[in-house]
Amino acid sequence: MTNPLLAEWAGDFALPPFAAIGDEDFAPAFAAALDEARANIRAIADNPAPADFANTIAALELSQDSLDRVAAVFFNLSGADSTPAREALQRDLAPKLAAFSSEVTMNTTLFARIDALWRERDGLGLGPEEMRLLDLYRRMFVRAGAALAPEGQGRMAAIKERLAVLSTAFSQNLLADERGWFMALDEGDLEGLPDFVIAAARAAAEERGRPGHVLTLSRSLVVPFLQFSPRRDLREAAYTAWVARGANGGETDNRALAAEILALREERARLLGYESFAAYKLEPEMAKSPERVRDLLMRVWEPARKKAMSDAATLTAMMQADGINGDLEPWDWRYYSERRRLAEHDLDEAELKPYFGLEAMIDAAFDCAGRLFGLQFRPLDLPLYHPDARAWEVTRDGRHMAVFIGDYFARGSKRSGAWCSAMRSQRKLGGEVRPVVVNVCNFAKPSAGEPALLSWDDARTLFHEFGHALHQMLSDVTFGFMSGTSVARDFVELPSQLYEHWLEVPEVLDRHARHAVTGQPMPAELRDRLLAASAYDQGFATVEYIASALVDLAFHEGAAPADPMAVQDAVLVTIGMPRAIRMRHATPHFAHVFSGDGYSAGYYSYMWSEVMDADAFDAFREAGDPFDPDVAKRLERHILSAGGSADEGSLYTAFRGRMPGVEPLLKGRGLLEEV
């Protein structure tokens, strides 16, 4: 029988035939797709005709279509709905795919064709997008080791294969620790918890086939537990388990893996002539150098730390008023901060949450996209990879733009966090291809028959990931290599973080923040209190984030540390980390940095992008309308549709007329007065 992963995908949108795909189909599909890709690469490299853009660069763009298609399905499912068979195959595939990548980028004949075209580029009559693609391909090959001597190429290939194995192991260890821990809660343990936390704990128990209620390490469950549980002993137990992921000893401990990953990254950079992995990694980014990254982070660190220390003193006084002597601990911060928010801003998460139903927030994200960019969303009744996943067709003026898949609830088979990916990316080469975009979140799933309610932070996450999705949906480039989110890492968070701002637009809340039971809109005075407190506790949030970014930079800026945990501790001492705040991502569970190279030496990029997103939303404020059509058109033209078709700085300047300063970011975080 024909492998469903390799057959032509039928239907209106050519979606993967999820109902027909079994785990046993992936290995043979990968084998066949790799064989096909190798044959295509050989044909390009050995083409007797002189190299030109069509027979080399454009041909490379189409050479791995089958492999890309199979990999997109597999890795989306591996992250969102893992099984033992998929985890085993992922371990097997990691070094094989890394070896294939090295085989391509270190093909000297192929690189000679690319290099010859690049050297003659000014006389080829290429358009701007073609010139950009040629530059990107040559840069990718050089940075992958194409110009190294054979001995160096061999070592580079071995490093990449080993890194692929280690990063896969890091991810799977983290998932195992998250999946394996839970804490049963009896009736007395539920004291003080709002109904929505109790319901989420009951649903978590149902998912595990257990009676009663359990606490898991899903952020959407453990964070509200830490906010509301008056039981300090239970908060400590939950927090300790949460921050210990990847550092519990035994087979799932990630500390030795992190050390080996850092050593191999340093060796990789030095093979290519860079003094550090950070210098290598940052060269193609907007930041360009570790020095510029550190400068930004430290400009924000000092006012953030000052604010956090002031807040810590206030929370400590509250705790001591409860008769608890001693220091404020990390498992105390969220509990007393929530009480302080109620006292100072009259905001109660239990009062707010019914106004942020999942369905209402999906509608809000869609409505804003419609008002800004003319997009419309039609639900689709299609078989997907999991019953929780849902799909919509995205259109504009009757034209098909994308298929959007939303997978919102936490489960044991899903890795933690939230992300956007693509089952298929947009391109025009070889015929118009429209994207299939996926948003994955980990919101607490309600019990049957109860509405799914989000926290304010959850709602921001939904808007954030949908901003990434818009970057994919509105992409309008010729080449898939630069489509959608294929941009510099410190630029990719601009569309996502910018989209979060629309959640804070009063008219959006008035239209969509409706009570999940009564359907009544959020009272205006509650809305105003919520928005007035939008920068509440930003000292804490900024400190925990910047600490992680500075540790990431320290790991990669010099010689690789034999003991990453010692470096982590030293950085935190040097910067004066408040004792009651921990890094947002400690080393053993820092998946951004160690589950692949994506955010390695790059965790700073959220803040780099935030400098732009704060300034970008000011363009709408200056126009006097958060949905100003002219500003929205500029945003789509120069940012959302452009992908990586031009230098990111020039794209932002084309949209805004200049590059921004840090002041809008500090203002947005409520830190400007602390400078």
In Å, how far from its chain's centre is CA 464?
A: 9
Q: How far apart are CA 660 and CA 617, in angstroms?
A: 12
Output the six-digit token pair for 513.
């923040």
pLDDT for 668 equals 87
pLDDT for 371 equals 98
Residues labelled catalytic: 465
> Which letter does DSSP use for residue 414 in this model?
S
Q: How far apart are CA 405 and CA 420, in angstroms?
A: 10
Helix (H, G, I), strand (E, B) or coil at 217: coil
| Integer CA distances (angstroms), 142 to 74, 101, 147, 148, 439, in order | 29, 13, 6, 8, 33
Q: How far apart are CA 617 and CA 628, in angstroms?
A: 11
pLDDT for 1 equals 62
Q: Please report the DSSP string for 600-666 in residue order.
A: TTTTTHHHHHHHHHHHHHHHHHHHT-TT-HHHHHHHIIIIITTTTSS-HHHHHHHHHSS---SHHHH
> Which letter does DSSP use for residue 214 in this model?
E
User: In degrees rounded to 5, what are phi and psi of residue 624?
Assistant: 85, 10
pLDDT for 675 equals 38
Q: How far apart are CA 477 and CA 489, in angstroms?
A: 19
Contact present, 406 and 390 (Cβ < 8 Å): yes
CA angle 661/665/666 to nearest 5° reads: 100
pLDDT for 516 equals 93
Contact present, 377 and 466 (Cβ < 8 Å): no
Q: How far apart are CA 377 and CA 392, in angstroms?
A: 6
- Sign of the dihedral through C-alpha 68, 73, 74, 80: positive
| Integer CA distances (angstroms), 582 to 209, 585, 666, in order | 33, 8, 21
Q: How far apart are CA 339 and CA 346, in angstroms?
A: 9
Length of the chain: 675
Domain extents in the chain: 18-105+107-147, 181-244
Q: pTM for the full model?
A: 0.94
Contact present, 55 and 44 (Cβ < 8 Å): yes
Q: How far apart are CA 287 and CA 391, in angstroms?
A: 37
- Ranges of residues in the chain with a pLDDT under 70 are 1, 673-675
Q: How far apart are CA 339 and CA 673, in angstroms?
A: 24
Output the six-digit token pair for 608.
């780099």
In Å, how far from its chain's centre is CA 501?
A: 18
pLDDT for 552 equals 98
Q: At what angle do helices 65-80 and 84-105 cross, to 10 degrees?
A: 140
Q: 511-520: per-residue pLDDT in tens? A: 999 999 999 9
CATH of domain 18-105+107-147: 1.20.1050.40
